[in-house]
Structure 1
Amino acid sequence: MNIQKMYTAVDVHVNGEAFRVIKDVPCKYYYNLEQLNEQFSSELAEEMQLLLNEPRGFIGLNGCIVVPSIHTEVDAAVLFFNHEGSIPLHYGGIVAVITMLLESGYLKKRETNQYKIETLSGIFSVHAYVENDEVVSVSFESKLCYLIEKNLQVENISYSLIQADKVYAVVEKGAYSPEICIENISELKKWGEVTLQTIQKQLLINRLILVDSSQKEKNHIKSITFHEDNFIVRSPGFVSTIVSYVHALFKNDYMADKPFINESICNSFITVEKVKREETGYIFRFESRGFITGVQTFLLDPTDPFPAGFLLK
């Protein structure tokens, strides 16, 4: 075999979301992370597709490129990307990156358990607790999340609009929506597609969250997130969780001084706490954990008929 290119990556899963963390990238001089992101988005576009697409990846896989930060007080800088291209921030990616750096020895454990990670959305102060050389807990604060409008109506659908990394439509589970369980995955996909298309007749959005609040007395919900391309997020989702929390707070159905639990269709959980209320919205604290699932070396043979891979949706 003629090996044209070789890449090594660490795979990490965080609450069911998969991340491919890449540290060995070409050295680049840069004066800010935005400029480096522009370079990598053009120069490494093929590599990004190669590592995320099938047969090496799959549609739900996220990418993280880790580089040294230009700020002396920051432990690492990270660029996030997915099949659509570069993304400014992925909370689960922060958990994946700090887990990989500490468990692989790139970062040394500190007595303070405090580390700093730079992203396109700013620098995050991260608490990572290590026991027996294993990261057992990672926590940090979110960016601002706020309500745009509630009690909107289109046809028989009532929904709220909430701003996080994107604008999300949030719909409460009712008589016309399926139960959020893995057995209903096909029915849920059809419901999500039709509902999102209906809302899009009124507003241009590409994210929809269905929330089951039947356990609201326990500060516990179950949710599922739909993308415009008919992709379903199997994990609870960090952003989906805080968006659902903001939706719940404005309904006055939940105890704001207690942890809020979001359960996924696969029965995994994310727990968040409200840290503070700003003038326009809320900031939350996440606590989660990442698990390294493999260290892999990927090869590209120049005779491979799919040099950028392919994607089944």
Structure 2
Amino acid sequence: MNIQKAYTATDVHVAGEAFRIIKDAPFIHYQSLQELNEQFPHAYEIEIKLLLNEPRGFAGLNGCLVVPPFKSGADAAVVFFDHNGTVPMQYGGIVAVITALLECGQLKAKPSNEYSIETVSGIVTVTAVMEAEEVKLVKLKSEPCQVAQTHVALSYLDLQTEVTLVQADQQYAIFDKAELPFEIEMDNLTDINQWGQKAIKALEGKNKVDRVVLLDHSQKSEGKIKTVTFRPDCYIVRSPGFGTTAACSTYLLGNGDVSVYSPIENESIFNGKLTAELLSQIETDYEFRFSARGFITGMQTYVLDPTDPLSAGFLLK
């Protein structure tokens, strides 16, 4: 084996969503996190493919590059990326990064449990509670969310329905599962996939939507919901989704379906769970506090062999 490059990474999952955290990427010159973020897709094109594409990664894997902070008071800085380039902000990535830094001893635990992570979207303050050298709980705040449009009529083949659009970290199209004959369970994955493809087709060319969400709120009186979230390429998000949880909470609060004083637990089709509680409401804008936990799944060294015919990797969706 001819090793041309080697990268060490820590893998963390947050409610089922996978993050690959790297700290030893090749040096490039930059004077700010914004400049690093702008250079990243070109300067680290090989690394993105090597670390996220199959056979080392998969279509749903997210990347985090951790570097020393620029801003005074920040504990670390991070650039988020996926297969297409950089991403401004990932709530799950913040949970993954603070978990890895604390549990691997790269960041000293504070008595206050309060930490600041620098991102291109600004400083993110998190609360990370440690017990017996493990991060047991991470809390962080959402950006404002609001209902953008209601009762949007859609039709495609046999799909005749209405959708609500909610602006959270992205634009979410929320569909009510009540009118569908199947439950959000793994046994019904084929039906769920077929429905998702129709919903995405129905939205094409009509509204800019970043995520399609099927929402089961039959247990909302108990503070529980269940969702499945699709990307525009029909790929199912592997976690309940921080943005999905905030968007669905905004939808239910806007309808008066849940109490403003009760947290909402969102469960995915894969049984991952995230919790959101309302922090503030200003007119139609809602802000939430998320609660989640990350789990380190491995620490690996990935190598690039120039004779490998699949050195750039591939993606199956």
Amino acid at match of 2:311: P
Say yes or no: does 1:246 pair with 2:258. no
Amino acid at match of 1:71: K
Q: How does 1:257-296 map to 2 (within 5 A)?
A: 257-296=261-300
Q: How much identity, in percent, do the aligned residues show?
A: 49
Answer yes or no: is the 8 Å Cα contact 1:11–1:295 preserved in 2: yes
- Equivalent residue of 1:296, what SS? strand
Amino acid at match of 1:161: L
- Which region of structure 1 is more displaced relative to structure 2, 79-88 or 22-31? 22-31
Answer yes or no: is the 8 Å Cα contact 1:154–1:202 preserved in 2: no
What do the CA deviations read for 1:241-267 (whole angstroms, capped 9, x no partner)?
001101111111101111111111012
Q: Which residue of 2 aligns with 1:208?
A: 212
Offset of residue 142 of structure 1: 1.0
Q: Distance in 2 between matches of 1:177 and 1:168?
A: 23
Q: 1:185 aligns with which of 185, 189, 202?
A: 189
- Equivalent residue of 1:306, what SS? coil
- Equivalent residue of 1:210, what SS? strand
Q: Distance in 2 between matches of 1:136 and 1:52?
A: 27
Moved over 6 A (4+): none
Offset of residue 114 of structure 1: 0.8
Q: 1:298 aligns with which of 302, 309, 314?
A: 302
Q: Which residue of 2 aligns with 1:123?
A: 123
What do the CA deviations read for 1:271-300 (whole angstroms, capped 9, x no partner)?
111100134511110111111111000011
Q: Distance in 2 between matches of 1:206 and 1:95?
A: 22
Offset of residue 133 of structure 1: 1.0
Q: CA RMSD in A?
A: 1.3
Answer yes or no: is the 8 Å Cα contact 1:102–1:135 preserved in 2: yes
What do the CA deviations read for 1:196-220 (whole angstroms, capped 9, x no partner)?
1112242232421000011111121
- Equivalent residue of 1:192, what SS? helix
What do the CA deviations read for 1:113-158 (whole angstroms, capped 9, x no partner)?
1110011211111111111111111111111111111122123211
- Equivalent residue of 2:277, what SS? strand
* Structure 1 residues 144 and 197, CA gap change in structure 2 (3 angstroms): same
Q: 1:308 aligns with which of 293, 296, 312?
A: 312
Amino acid at match of 2:31: Y
What do the CA deviations read for 1:47-92 (whole angstroms, capped 9, x no partner)?
1111011100111111000001111200011111112221111101
Answer yes or no: is the 8 Å Cα contact 1:196–1:206 preserved in 2: no
Q: Which residue of 1 aligns with 2:86?
A: 86
Q: Which residue of 1 aligns with 2:98?
A: 98
What do the CA deviations read for 1:177-229 (whole angstroms, capped 9, x no partner)?
63210011111111001111112242232421000011111121100001111
Offset of residue 29 of structure 1: 4.3
Q: Distance in 1 between matches of 2:282 and 2:77?
A: 27
Q: How does 1:27-176 map to 2 (within 5 A)?
A: 27-155=27-155, 156-176=160-180
Q: Distance in 2 between matches of 1:212 and 1:113?
A: 34
TM-score by length of 2: 0.95
Q: Distance in 2 between matches of 1:194 and 1:262?
A: 24
- Which region of structure 1 is more displaced relative to structure 2, 177-186 or 250-259? 177-186
Amino acid at match of 2:244: S
Say yes or no: does 1:198 pair with 2:164. no
Q: Which residue of 1 aligns with 2:222?
A: 218
Amino acid at match of 2:215: V
Structure 1: runs of 5+ lacking an equivalent: none
- Equivalent residue of 1:194, what SS? helix
TM-score by length of 1: 0.97
